[in-house]
Amino acid sequence: MKEILFFLLFSFCLFAQESPVAVESKIDKSNITIGDTVRYAVKLTRDKNVQVRWPALGANLGAFEIRDYQKPDPRQAKGRIVEEIAYTISTFDTGRFVIPPLAIEYQTPPDSTWHQLQTEKLEIYVASTLPSEAGDIRDIKSPWELPRDWKLIILIALIVAGVLVLVAAGFYYWRKRQGKGILPERKEPPRPAHEVALEALRKLRESDLLATGQIKAFYIELSEIVRRYIEGRYFVPALELTTGELMDNLREVTLEPDARHMLGDLLETSDLVKFAKYAPATEEHERALQLAESFVEMTKLVMPAPVEGQATNGKTPDAPLSNAKPVENAAEVA
């Protein structure tokens, strides 16, 4: 009997022993209206000898965008280390959304294996600010026909015709003074999207934005260059989409994993600088430029060279190749 009691007491002590690392997450409100912000906080408590690796600042938060973040220095409480990070997030869609779990890696010496600990997923309901139309349905009124005044209609038609004749005559006179014909001249075909993007990146590299401390303006211009290139290359309205919406649209496009990783890393860093007041280190500016250049080089259209001595017989060449040859050391840049 004593042995059984001792075994039960020993098992209880082992069960009650505090874990070397624990994590918890919470939000300050779970019901908001569209455009409101939510404070999403993650708190990690660990023993002093435990090492942890937090996810990147641009971690996946589902449909939510990061507006601001705070990460105070670690503090001690009851002989343990407490680390916290808080995101200010928002979304402009309505419905029920989920903040996916954040994965935090930890290591408990002498064990050299890195283990993973995840936060709980949290649900937030976003309501519309538009008033409800329930109860406002009324019967359809019968159409109201205006009496037709044919004299007035004919007079308006004559005035419109006269204005069109004057506009046409003015356009003809203006074209003649410029020494041009009535029909517009044939324009040169637009330059390839990758040439325009690489030239813009070169000018950005040579600009004085970084030297004069205009970090935010530098990353805004860098992001717009890459987004304009995506519009010209993949015909996706990149300038009108958020980073999350853009990456979702590009799932239908065949992109190499390295190129997708480069683009996501570059746009997340730019968003943090533009919206979350993130201040990158000096060496990260050059890395961001290299990411943009490598992404353009890896995804540009490359026309196949004609085979020497082979006649085309009036036929058009094969379709252009996409992602023909990745840039050397592109993986190292990513």
Highest mean pLDDT among 16-25, 56-65, 101-110, 262-271: 262-271
Tell me: the pLDDT tens digits for 68-110?
Answer: 878 888 988 888 999 888 888 888 888 888 888 888 888 888 8
Cα–Cα distance, 297 to 331 (Å, whole number): 13
- Quick one: tokens of 23? 């994590």
Region(s) of the chain under CATH 2.60.40.740: 18-127
Write down the mean pLDDT value for the chain: 80
Give Cβ neighbours of residue 22 (< 8 Å, ≥ 6 apart): 44, 45, 46
* CATH no. for 18-127: 2.60.40.740
Q: How many residues in the chain? A: 334
More confident residue, 240 or 137: 240
Give Cβ neighbours of residue 90 (< 8 Å, ≥ 6 apart): 35, 36, 37, 38, 64, 65, 67
Cβ atoms of 122 and 98 closer than 8 Å = yes
Locate the DSSP E strands across the chain.
21-27, 31-33, 37-46, 51-53, 65-70, 75-77, 80-90, 95-99, 103-107, 115-118, 122-127, 301-302, 321-322
Q: How many CB atoms lie within 10 A of CB 132?
A: 7
Of 15-19, 50-54, 181-185, give the lowest mean pLDDT range: 15-19
What does the radius of gyration of the chain's CA atoms come to, in whole angstroms?
A: 31
Assess whether pLDDT exceeds 60 at residue 135.
no
Cα–Cα distance, 268 to 317 (Å, whole number): 39
Give, in degrees to the nearest 5, the angle at Cα 298 between 295 and 300.
Answer: 95
Phi and psi torsions of 279, nearest 5°: -115, 100
Highest mean pLDDT among 89-93, 128-132, 267-271: 267-271
Tell me: the pLDDT tens digits for 143-176?
Answer: 766 677 788 889 899 999 999 999 988 888 887 7
Cβ atoms of 221 and 209 closer than 8 Å = yes
Cα–Cα distance, 144 to 53 (Å, whole number): 71
